[in-house]
Amino acid sequence: MSQIMSDKAAEPVGPYPHARRVGRLLFLSGIGPRKRGSQDIPGVELGANGQIVSYDFEKQFHSMMENIKNVLAASDATLRQIVDVQVFLTDMKTDFQKMNKVYAEYFAEIGPTRTTVEVGALPTPIAVELKVIVDLDADKS
């Protein structure tokens, strides 16, 4: 088993690696849209109390996918090798259709299995987080 840390993806918000390899499988920790080296979250406007005032779901999703791609690159893997996706949304009613639209841009051709759940909150003021499992033996192209 080996731990993987990307020097390009946002730092984890706790004492855990970006990913862990076990045999031919790679398990990514939950990855959100925060930018590396800052608390900046693309598309999120925070109020004085740190609560979300407004957010652009698509901007968050695209930023999160860049973080995922960076972790995969550090693992010598690609999006095409993802076999399972867990999606965590803070507002299923508002964001599920938006999520499906932007999700399809990345995963429609790949076809991983997916579970989507609504959660009360995520560790930072974000609307979406993904956790993925990768088959490192799968074709990268």
- What is the pLDDT of the chain when averaged over all its residues? 96
pLDDT given for residue 112 in this prediction: 98
Tokens 């995922």, residue?
68
Euclidean distance between CA atoms 139 and 118, whole angstroms: 32
pLDDT at position 51: 84
% the chain with pLDDT above 90: 94
- The residue among 56, 72, 75, 74 whose CA lies nearest residue 110 is 72
Q: Whole-angstrom Cα distance, residue 86 to residue 130? A: 6
pLDDT band for 141, please (50, 70, 90 cuts): confident
- 53: confidence class by pLDDT, cuts 50, 70, 90: very high
* Tokens 């938006």, residue located: 98
Task: Quote the tokens at residue 138.
Answer: 């799968």
- pLDDT at site 1: 74
Residues 6+ apart with CB under 8 A from 63: 33, 34, 35, 41, 42, 43
Q: Do 27 and 19 meet the contact criterion of CB atoms below 8 Å apart? A: yes
The model's pLDDT over 108-123, given as tens digits with 9 standing for 90+, comes to 999 999 999 999 999 9
Residue 93 has pLDDT above 80, yes or no: yes
Tens of pLDDT, residues 8-36 = 999 999 999 999 999 999 999 999 999 99
CB 89 within 8 A of CB 60: no
Any idea what DSSP says for residue 15? S
pLDDT of 136 > 90? The answer is yes
61/64 Cα distance (integer angstroms): 5
Q: Confidence band (pLDDT; 50, 70, 90) for 39?
A: confident
* Range with the poorest average pLDDT among 30-34, 43-47, 90-94, 100-104: 43-47
